[in-house]
Chains A and B, each alone.
Chain A
């Protein structure tokens, strides 16, 4: 992340000069986040268009209908009932929801088309407004000078040289890939052999080579498109006189437009530093550029102007040229802006996926997979860059303060974004209600910063084994996985919390977050850390990280103090195993003390408590690692935590087998997996203690580190088991009531929905005037009689113990049988043309409908009576 205010890191001289652009700046990912946030606004605009049209009225009507028929839930309804009721509702509303989703996507398309259209006319507008014209033969010297610099820089196609009117005083670039142009001020053109020409043109050519032109103008084009589109709801609301949504909409839209503008300017400022550094690769060129910057008479803007400025101050640019390490210093503001954008994007993406039942299963994972790598590439890449600069400049280690700054930025940005997302417009959930939810969300996502920082330090210490490209790819991949995992988990938990409170969130944590794909992610991260720790740490930085024009590496390596060492692989593995063993020992003591579980519910309670013990063992490793190894410990924790969780789970399995429990691979996997995943998530939370001024990676005695981890693991395990009633409350048991509830809230609504669908089929067949009688008979048998028979067969298999409910169920069975018989009579009547039979069929149909209605009434009465 390019720093905005490089600050005052003073370096002793002589210093090795880091090759700062060997690891690219994370401005590309910041730009992609910006575009994603702008495009996601299109989702809102599309939804708004939908709601304003007649289609929106139909959608509302359908949802009202589904809501009115939604089976009510008892106050103590369990997760299964909640999910079943929600599934029923989604199926009911599916057609309308699909239409809504298409409108939302249309909004994105509209934003893209508008943005691209603006982008396409930008060069024409620029040429006209800035009165640009080709240089022409009189100014051939400037044209050829520019072409020579373009060739020297390696551009395949030289940008076109344009000259502006005498009002143009600063050079700039514009155009599209392959058709770029550089607008030169006349004062520069006429001095093409002067000292300013080379630095300025090299700087502009660097912009073109680094695709800054496309980034800058597309960010602006999409911003204009979104600002206009977001203004439309305000104007329409005012015209229609319905401003009820404006209070919740206006500030969110304004904040989004404002933040994207500031973020865009921040990205451009960072790209200016990069263009300076990449264009001035020799001391001679740096001196020329610094001299030119020294002539700048531009006044430093005030605070707000500084936030919107597209160029850093000349003093800051000179400082970065002098010491490029400053460029690696990440800014908490940039992190906050990126996190804000991620935070506003996530709920909008989730809402689109959650809208359509057929893709609801992907509602949390796909947005996380899309946004996570962008956050990883933004925050993680910054930290990996710091880590590699720390290897070059060994006098100071800046990774810990950098991680704390980024943590603060991500936390603030994600927190604000959680309230400001357009997905919350019109939400019935108040901001105050959401405070704990959004806080948890922000803490989790910000916590991922420390994990990324910890892995960055490990990778930095092993960077000599990698090329710059591999190092960069590793930064993006591993940080992206960390952020995607945390975003997925936090969004899943907080959304379920939003939906039905902590009771559902607790179930989702245990049942949904612990699925096999999540465990695979944890294992991949653990394997990556294992591989890093297995590599030999090198005291000297890789050659690609050092400017080749500085003194030879061996001399520096000999002179420089050895960088702080992360914990050894053996220590990390032993620490994980010891902590897991300590937790397992606590379980053994507990089991010996309290004896076997009494009944299924207590078995479930213990299983859940043990799962939290396994997870807690993982988190306990991080406590010790962070205390003794600082930020590096968070990275090592990604390996130690799953080792501890697996060890404690295997210890439990051994104990369970000893007490006579059966063992199978499925059982082992089922016991180990949840603890591993939850352990990793607790690790994220525990790593937040890195906000404290922890010691830098020290040379603490491994035995002490392991011992502390084991003690903490044992304490966590003991505490979890002692508080098991709070961790996993025993359900209030009433099996009869559960069976009745299962029937009225689960089974009955599904039958009801199926019957409603059959009603629609009947209406469709009745309205079909093109089919012959025989064809109609065929349709009746295939589309009505057969499904009714299936329903009847299913109903016959349903066992009901409750006496009054059994009576109702018998009415249902009778109704289904009557209806099936009636429609079969219709079919025969159509085939034979027997009018009397058709009349009988009508009578039978009416009877069947009455029976079904009676069943519905009795079920509704049962629901109303609890």
Chain B
């Protein structure tokens, strides 16, 4: 792995974030998938505002806040995807393999954008250390966005599980 940081074009990165977030939501909150596209669009338009929402004392409101998990999953998944891109991208560059985007897609078991190489190679596999690092990043980010400790842990596990299961040949 080189020290050079690999970044994907924003649109591609968001696509991967959406993909992994949907993976996680299928496990943690499948009922939210019905509103996933709208929620994701609102999140990407202004992530901080969506995450910091709440605290309003609505007149004739109920007085207890219920937040979607989706924005938090998207917020946590974003650095995870960046981490995965760097992990897989370093190896891909070294061996002259296909695009990072495709490799991550394959890791997440999503259709490749390069149809000529579809299913020609097995998806990349992450080592135990790499998965541990993914969990650490996910856990840290979960805490940063204000999720309670138990939910943060569950979410980190769901992300790691999603990546590990998806990456298993």
Q: B55 in the interface, Cβ–Cβ < 8 Å?
A: yes
Contact of A298 among B32, B39, B65, B67 (CB under 8 A): B65
Contact of A169 among B38, B49, B53, B69 (CB under 8 A): B53
Q: B15 in the interface, Cβ–Cβ < 8 Å?
A: no
Question: For B61, what are the chain A residues with a Cβ–Cβ distance below 8 Å?
Answer: 170-173, 204, 310-311
A189 to B53, CA, bound (A): 17
A165 to B38, CA, bound (A): 8
Q: Of A171, A190, A272, A314, which is in contact with the most chain B CB atoms at under 10 Å from its CB?
A: A190
Question: For A174, what are the chain B residues with a Cβ–Cβ distance below 8 Å?
Answer: 60
Number of A-B contacts (CB under 8 A): 115
Number of interface residues of B (CB under 8 A): 29
- The answer to whether A168 touches B35 (Cβ under 8 A) is no
Give the distance to chain B from A200, nearest Cβ to Cβ, in Å. 5
Question: For B63, what are the chain A residues with a Cβ–Cβ distance below 8 Å?
Answer: 170, 272, 296, 298, 310-312, 314, 317
- The answer to whether A296 touches B65 (Cβ under 8 A) is yes
Q: A856 in the interface, Cβ–Cβ < 8 Å?
A: no
- The answer to whether B62 touches A166 (Cβ under 8 A) is no
Question: For A292, what are the chain B residues with a Cβ–Cβ distance below 8 Å?
Answer: 64
Q: A383 in the interface, Cβ–Cβ < 8 Å?
A: no
Interface residues in B42-68 by Cβ distance below 8 A to A read 42-43, 49-50, 53-68
- The answer to whether A186 touches B59 (Cβ under 8 A) is no
- The answer to whether A196 touches B66 (Cβ under 8 A) is yes
Give the distance to chain A from B52, nearest Cβ to Cβ, in Å. 9
Q: A216 in the interface, Cβ–Cβ < 8 Å?
A: yes
Contact of A190 among B31, B50, B62, B65 (CB under 8 A): B31
- The answer to whether A310 touches B59 (Cβ under 8 A) is yes
Q: B71 in the interface, Cβ–Cβ < 8 Å?
A: yes
Chain B residue, CB-CB nearest to A212: B60
Q: A295 in the interface, Cβ–Cβ < 8 Å?
A: yes
Give the distance to chain A from B80, nearest Cβ to Cβ, in Å. 20
Give the distance to chain B from A350, nearest Cβ to Cβ, in Å. 33
A213 to B60, CA, bound (A): 6
- The answer to whether B35 touches A169 (Cβ under 8 A) is no
Q: A73 in the interface, Cβ–Cβ < 8 Å?
A: no
Question: For B62, what are the chain A residues with a Cβ–Cβ distance below 8 Å?
Answer: 170-172, 200, 203-204
A221 to B153, CA, bound (A): 46
Given contact pairs A139-B34, A298-B55, A170 touches B60 in the complex (Cβ within 8 A)? no
A271 to B60, CA, bound (A): 8
Chain B residue, CB-CB nearest to A171: B62
Give the distance to chain A from B19, nearest Cβ to Cβ, in Å. 19
A207 to B49, CA, bound (A): 29
- The answer to whether B31 touches A168 (Cβ under 8 A) is no
Q: A268 in the interface, Cβ–Cβ < 8 Å?
A: yes
- The answer to whether B64 touches A295 (Cβ under 8 A) is yes
Q: B70 in the interface, Cβ–Cβ < 8 Å?
A: yes
- The answer to whether B34 touches A298 (Cβ under 8 A) is no
Given contact pairs A166-B70, A314-B63, A190 touches B34 in the complex (Cβ within 8 A)? yes
A188 to B43, CA, bound (A): 18
Chain B residue, CB-CB nearest to A311: B63
Give the distance to chain B from A272, nearest Cβ to Cβ, in Å. 7
Contact of A172 among B34, B38, B39, B60 (CB under 8 A): B60
Interface pairs (17), CB distance under 8 Å: A166-B38, A167-B53, A168-B53, A170-B62, A170-B63, A170-B64, A172-B58, A172-B60, A173-B61, A186-B39, A186-B68, A187-B69, A200-B66, A272-B63, A297-B65, A311-B61, A317-B63
Beyond known contacts A171-B62, A207-B60, A314-B64: 9 more, CB 8 A cutoff: A165-B38, A185-B66, A185-B67, A188-B66, A190-B68, A200-B62, A212-B60, A217-B60, A312-B63
Please list the residues of chain A having a beta carbon within 8 angstroms of any beta carbon in chain B: 138-139, 165-174, 185-191, 196, 200, 203-204, 207, 212-213, 216-217, 220, 268, 271-272, 292-293, 295-298, 309-312, 314, 317
